[in-house]
Amino acid sequence: MQSNKNKSIDFKSSVFTCNKLNCSGCGACAQICSKHAIDMVEDNEGFLFPILNQEKCVQCGLCDKICPEVNSHQSNVGEYKQCFAATNKDNDYSRMSATIGACTMMAEYVLSIGGYVFGVILDEDEWKAKHRCIDNYSLLQEARNSKYIQSDTGSTYSLAKQLLNKDKTVLYIGTPCQIAGLKAFLQKEYKKLYTIDLICHGVYSYRLLQKEVDYWSCKFSRGKVSNFRFRSKEKYPWIYGGVINFDISNNKSNTHIEIHGSCSPLYRCYAYSGDGINYTLRESCYSCQFRDTNRFGDITIGDAWGMSKKRSELFQKKNLRKGISLILCNTLKGKFLLDHIDSQVNLVELSKNEAFSQDALKSSNRMIPKERYLIYNNLDNEDWGTLIEKNLHVNFDKLRTMYHIHEVKKTIKEVIEEMAEMFDRAGVLVDKAGYIKAVYERESEGPTGIGDQVAIPHGKTAAVGKTAMAVGRLDKGI
């Protein structure tokens, strides 16, 4: 390996300049080089960058020509644009997905017609995210749910091209820069290529996930962490956002853990800092040129954040738990995909201004915070949790205690309201609201637990028409 410096020709891409701000790590340059002169190599932070072997390079300039970071390539702007908020009709899709499972639905359609899907799986042996070619429903399950670490596209652009040249249908799912890289690599339109770009706030290095996994393993007596996910609706509803969840096992037991993102060092510095700053992104993400209305995917999918005030009819209790997706049809091919899952979703059309209201869809040139470098430069020098607490001025033990107390209070409230509903349906109450108020007042005086994991919430009030008792049992204790 040699340095990337090349003084004889005025090339602009990171392959030749080594400018990390001009490289998203899409890998298009390495995959298009017929001389195999470019390797994608990790830097000390764990991000992939192109390294040029000048002994193999013939200076054809093709890698520079296709680089989406330094060249203007045709996006889908102007061809078509239709925007929707979407909820699903099937609870199973919602339960297993970050939001409503729209990508999964579209991927299942492509597989059903004999096509191939390119999505991201999390390799738990290395804790790296990798793009994979998916040709069956079983492997598709591994690609579900959000992954915020940067994925390695490997040779998937080349494989997608091979399949397209054989007249196969291909669906490629990735971040906007990865879809731009794919289309630049292909250098032509393919009728049977469908692309989904995900609404992206930026990506961080897999090295942070490795630190996070070790952090939680230590918290749970060096148990083995598996089935790690970044989103869940089991404990917290969708509207709560990120939830670190995983299984922890040792010789004695296997337990599933759910922790809100604000109590996780990994999530805290990525999206829950409290000041709107993302502290751990790839450097190029801070000035991402693909955060815009000019999309490269046939369809754009993500969470419908930032619409609750203008679209309050959508943000009702059921949807707040299950999730609401934002779906942007950027081309007629995108609308074709959406039409094939129409029976599985409820769609509400949005104006373009409504749809592009969240920050992740707006062009920006953010300052790179100094804390970013303090975090990455000290990954091997300090304890992971302590490093984030020090730089972001938080206390994770206190945060987790606060969330636990909040959950207990929330669960008690839900139990009281559900049992009041049972009484009301049975004709016991003359004033349901008055009864609930009386029970709350009694609870505020002190716990009504009587031991053996049994509690008797109650109240004395004229809101009750006749004496009655309801019995309920929680799936999990509080």
**pLDDT tens digits in sequence order for the chain, 478 residues long:** 444 544 446 888 888 989 999 999 999 999 999 999 999 999 999 999 999 999 999 999 999 999 999 887 667 656 678 999 999 988 788 888 999 999 999 999 999 999 999 999 999 999 999 999 999 999 999 999 999 999 999 999 999 999 999 999 999 999 999 999 999 999 999 999 999 999 999 999 999 999 999 999 999 988 999 999 999 998 888 998 999 999 999 887 899 999 999 999 999 999 988 888 999 999 999 999 898 888 999 999 999 998 888 888 888 888 998 999 999 999 999 999 999 999 999 999 999 999 998 888 988 789 999 999 999 999 999 999 999 999 999 999 898 888 777 676 666 777 777 787 888 888 888 888 888 888 777 777 776 776 666 777 877 788 888 888 778 776 655 5
Q: Of 158, 166, 169, 163, whose CA–CA distance to 191 is shortest?
A: 169
Q: Do the bridges between strand 48-52 and strand 38-42 make them parallel or antiparallel, or are there none, so unpaired? A: antiparallel
For residue 424 the two structure tokens come to: 């009301």
Q: Model pTM?
A: 0.86
Residue at token pair 């920006």: 364
CB-based contacts of 417, cutoff 8 Å, min separation 6: 436
Query: What ranges make up the beta strands (E) of 23-78?
Result: 38-42, 48-52
For residue 71 the two structure tokens come to: 């060249």
CA trace torsion 447, 404, 391, 223 (10° rounding): 130
The CA distance from 209 to 225, in Å, is 12
The CA distance from 272 to 102, in Å, is 25
What values do phi and psi take at 25, rounded to 5?
75, 25
The CA distance from 228 to 213, in Å, is 8
294 to each of 72, 326, 359, 370, 458, how far by Cα in Å? Answer: 12, 16, 15, 30, 58
Angle 329-331-335 (CA atoms, 0-180°, nearest 5)?
A: 50
The CA distance from 160 to 169, in Å, is 9
399 to each of 230, 232, 316, 360, 381, how far by Cα in Å? Answer: 18, 19, 28, 27, 24
Helix intervals (H) in 340-426:
352-355, 370-377, 384-392, 396-425
The CA distance from 302 to 85, in Å, is 10
The CA distance from 396 to 457, in Å, is 32
Residue 191, number of CB atoms within 10 A of its CB: 9
Is 328 in contact with 197 (CB distance < 8 Å)? no
Q: Look at the chain and count its residues.
A: 478
Q: Of 88, 197, 100, whose CA–CA distance to 145 is shortest?
A: 100
For residue 10 the two structure tokens come to: 């005025």
